[in-house]
Amino acid sequence: MPGVAGAERLLGEVEEAEAALREAAERELDGEASFDAVIAADQKIEPRDAMPDAYRAGLIRQIAQHAHSEIIGMQPEGNWISRAPSLRRKAILLAKVQDEAGHGLYLYAAAETLGVSRQELDTALLTGKQKYSSIFNYPTLSWADMGAIGWLVDGAAIVNQVPLCRCSYGPYARAMIRVCKEESFHQRQGYQSLYVLAQGTPAQRAMAQDAVDRWWYPSLAMFGPPDADSTHSAQSMAWKVKRFSNDELRQRFVDMCVPQAEILGLTLPDPDLTWNEQRGHYDYTAPDFEELMRVVKGDGPCNRQRMAHRNRAHEEGAWVREAAAAYAEKNRKAVA
């Protein structure tokens, strides 16, 4: 079983970011350095530091959306836990979905350092006020989707998230280092699982190709709209929250996937995918951004289903949360 070419390099970047973080913590800035000076010196902004309102609001929006994505992302993969075709695969998938809940937890904690409460964040997800990644509004129709999601969706997430390990906001950067390390395990297991299918029976192979056909373009769309239409990008770059443009990251992802697909022996569903000697990159067909906008606005195949599921779980758990609160309150009074 071959390794996931290119993934090791990304993991190396995570390690470098971690070292840089430690080093930055040891470099002392003079007394009360201004926000701009901290950013300019590549230091980290910490929760107690002064920061522009728009920086705070933008980070809350971004971290919350990321946390919500982890929570909603449990649904499409959770869909196959009960039917996993071997006990080993069942254990891996269950552990992976559990990791996603864990990622959600520490991302919510990172968002809370910016002065927003868990309850506010929960409400924002449940009411649709804040979004989650549109990729999770696509259905998981076969077991091979577990492999394709691991390889392509987690792969795209890693390409997006590795630069965030160097983000200027300390708690987010630290959370992302941990998330990226676990995501890289997720991607490896997905790739490995898909590899086994691609080498398997004709039916398994067809299942694997069908999954790649369905997940390729939605994965490309995960990097967001083209640079020309990206609303939050410029300021985000100046504040060193974002380090690369949407299109740069998308290109990086395509360049990584092509040789990986060759090793799998599966075809990426883009007849125009060709190496461009001059650019030193693969030329590829852009995803359908109109489709992306439709899904973002709520009209993807599973938006309603995902939101209804989350709301139902929240409502059905209300009596349990109330009981826990009432019990804690009684105990507090008993102690006092």
CB 69 within 8 A of CB 132: yes
Question: Quick one: tokens of 269?
Answer: 């569903």
How many Å apart are CA 258 and CA 282, to the nearest integer?
8
Print the binding letters for residues 42-61 with other proteins: x by CB under 8 A, - otherwise.
--------------------
Q: Quickly list DSSP for 226-237.
A: -GGG-SSHHHHH
Residue among 27, 271, 280, 319 that touches other proteins (CB under 8 A)? 319
Q: For the CB of residue 88, give the shortest distance to other proteins in the complex, in Å.
A: 8
Q: Which stretch binds other proteins (CB under 8 A): 36-44, 160-168, 169-177, 311-319?
A: 311-319
Instruction: Say whether residue 297 binds other proteins (CB under 8 A).
Output: no
Q: Is 14 exposed, middle or buried (0-12, 13-18, 19+ CB in 10 A)?
A: buried
Instruction: Say whether residue 81 binds other proteins (CB under 8 A).
Output: yes
Instruction: Say whether residue 189 binds other proteins (CB under 8 A).
Output: no
Residue among 19, 23, 98, 232 that touches other proteins (CB under 8 A)? 98
Q: According to DSSP H, which parts of the chain are helical?
A: 7-26, 35-40, 53-78, 87-112, 118-126, 144-148, 154-161, 170-198, 202-221, 233-238, 246-264, 289-294, 303-316, 318-335
Print the binding letters for residues 193-232 with other proteins: x by CB under 8 A, - otherwise.
x--xx--xx-xx----------------------------
Residue among 86, 119, 231, 278 that touches other proteins (CB under 8 A)? 86
Read off the DSSP letter of residue 276: E
Task: Give kind and range of the element (H or E) at residue 282.
Answer: strand 281-283
Instruction: Say whether residue 126 binds other proteins (CB under 8 A).
Output: no
CB 211 within 8 A of CB 142: yes
Closer by beta carbon to other proteins, 275 or else 327: 327
Q: Which stretch binds other proteins (CB under 8 A): 47-55, 235-243, 247-255, 325-333?
A: 325-333
Q: For the CB of residue 273, give the shortest distance to other proteins in the complex, in Å.
A: 29
Instruction: Say whether residue 304 binds other proteins (CB under 8 A).
Output: no
Q: In Å, how far are 172, 206, 277 from 211, measured between CA atoms?
A: 32, 9, 30
Instruction: Say whether residue 104 binds other proteins (CB under 8 A).
Output: yes
Partners of 283 in the β-ladder: 274
Q: How many residues bind other proteins (CB under 8 A)?
A: 50
Closer by beta carbon to other proteins, 44 or else 306: 306
Q: For the CB of residue 327, give the shortest distance to other proteins in the complex, in Å.
A: 4
Q: For the CB of residue 127, give the shortest distance to other proteins in the complex, in Å.
A: 17
How many Å apart are CA 23 and CA 61, to the nearest integer?
28
| Number of neighbours of residue 11 by Cβ within 10 angstroms | 19
Task: Give kind and range of the element (H or E) at residue 274.
Answer: strand 274-276
Q: Among residues 212, 151, 211, which one has the least CA distance to residue 183?
A: 151
Print the binding letters for residues 246-265 with other proteins: x by CB under 8 A, - otherwise.
--------------------
Instruction: Say whether residue 107 binds other proteins (CB under 8 A).
Output: no
Closer by beta carbon to other proteins, 121 or else 257: 121
Q: Which stretch binds other proteins (CB under 8 A): 16-24, 43-51, 213-221, 318-326?
A: 318-326
Q: Quickly list DSSP for 28-83.
A: PPPSS--HHHHHHTT--B-TTS---HHHHHHHHHHHHHHHHHHHHHHHHHHTTGGG
Contact footprint for other proteins (CB under 8 A): 71, 74-75, 78, 81-91, 94-95, 97-98, 101-102, 104-105, 108, 143, 193, 196-197, 200-201, 203-204, 309-310, 312-313, 316-328, 330
